[in-house]
Amino acid sequence: MPEPRGPLALSNELLKDVLDCIESDPERSVNIDRRAYLSVESFRPPSLPEPSRAQDIGNFRLVCRRFAEIGIPYQFAKVATRFSKHGLERLDKICSHNHLAKHTRKFSYLVPYFYVEGSEQIEQLLESQATHHGYLDPSLFRKKADDQRRILHTKEDAQILRKAMTAFVSLQHVQILRVQDEADRLLLDMMEESELPRAAMLDLKWTPACIHATSTIAQALLHTRSPFSRFSGPMMNSQSALVIKDRIPQTVSLLASRLACLELHFDDSEALNERMRAASRLFKTVFSAAKNLQAVHVGFPTRSPLELGLEEIFHGVQWEKLRAFGIQSWRLDADEIIQLARRHRTVLRGLRLRDVQLREGSMWKDVLGMLRNEMEQLDWVSLRRVDYSKHFDELWADSMEIKDGSLEGSESDDEDDFPAHFSVADSDNDRDDAIEYDSDDEHSLADTDHGPDANEIALSPNTTASLPF
């Protein structure tokens, strides 16, 4: 039998090196105590790849059986699924093949706005705005709304998520992201501009979508005893925390006990202080149960700093293994930051205080002096856009109220980003990526964990991003 030639003669190790040039080694990740961890590993929404990248891996796996086996971990290490008929069917197919699902280490759940009842005048709305936005077919939105109602009624999503969390035996990281396609974006713009009564429209809301996604994911993870240890919610709705507190209190503490890393960013500012105060006991339950936390971030909208005290959320909890700690958009006294840092002075390696405003009477020099003189392991501190409350209020006193999502992103280095707000767009109405796959081919079932770049709010010219310690 003749010896193989060309690429077929290469060793498996060399072939993996080739795949590493297309997609990084699925076994490799950023160390938790590096400043890049919270932003690169979990908090920055996945960036849009070159369209050929996923296709290249898929084509590689089509060469022969040997190549197909080598390429599986690269194609299925990250799976992203959209809450839709098509997305759930694809997830069902992936987790039906154990030799594929066993390689999944990160699962991203892409959740669209939910359609709310009140569609009587949707045709009138679309016709009245057609000259400004182009024609949108009303049947498209009715179909979306019907599909969502069917999934919720049959609980198809909950069943498939349980199946997936059971099949993903190597799962480490779960992420919930908001997704918005072009048609939904145009409809939202139309409703903002329309003179029709709001109640007469087919409304889109993130709150019920976030609540449902969080509840079903939590129940699936608990039911299957998933090995996951990281959870990211960079687009959470504050009301969802209250619902979780009431619906699944026992689930929360059991899941929290498994966590090594937790990232939460609440992107709504309505009644923020009241809702967070009402959820204070939930945070106490979570943080008290999460005894193995190594990295934690809790953030709020840049333009709406939280007014609660730091311990109303963290409740004096001390984590023996904590390596990286981050908060964003908070009004605090210097002593609050100092006290939390002192509790972790022997273990903390990274501290991120993004958009934190010090109240009157507090000075940043007191915080920095303590960090420099007392922290035993601290390697880096990020102070992007820190300020004083009085100056912050003066900056925004005469500003025009603008939605966070409409602001352009500010440039910043890749290793220092806790995005203040995210919007993952989708140019196709019912697909999670822009690449055409054959749904009958098991080699094309993976959904790449990618989406357009995150939008970041530029509040004011950036201060010094970080100080070396």
CA-CA distances (angstroms) from residue 341 to 221, 346, 353? 32, 9, 11
Report pLDDT for 118: 53
Report pLDDT for 361: 94
Listed residue (209, 148, 140, 139) closest to 179, CA to CA: 209
Report pLDDT for 460: 24
Other Cβ atoms within 10 Å of 204 Cβ, number: 20
Report pLDDT for 403: 46
| pTM, full prediction | 0.76
Tens digits of per-residue pLDDT, 23-38?
Answer: 665 555 545 555 554 4
Mean pLDDT, the chain, integer: 75
Instruction: Answer yes or no: are the C-beta atoms of 319 and 344 closer than 8 Å.
Output: yes
Report pLDDT for 291: 94
Tens digits of per-residue pLDDT, 271-301?
Answer: 899 999 999 999 999 999 999 999 999 999 9
Instruction: Answer yes or no: are the C-beta atoms of 110 and 179 closer than 8 Å.
Output: yes
CA-CA distances (angstroms) from residue 79 to 219, 283, 450? 19, 29, 9
Report pLDDT for 34: 52
Report pLDDT for 158: 95
Report pLDDT for 42: 38
Other Cβ atoms within 10 Å of 7 Cβ, number: 13
Give the sign of the dihedral formed by CA 433, CA 436, CA 438, CA 442: negative
- The Cα 329–Cα 214 span in angstroms is 23
Kindly give the parts of the chain with pLDDT less than 70. 1-13, 15-55, 57, 59-63, 117-136, 191-203, 247-250, 398-469
Tokens of 186: 């145009």
Report pLDDT for 243: 76
Q: Is 311 exposed, middle or buried (0-12, 13-18, 19+ CB in 10 A)?
A: middle
* Mutual angle of helices 156-167 and 85-95, in 10-degree steps: 30
Token pair 């689930």 in the structure block, residue: 251
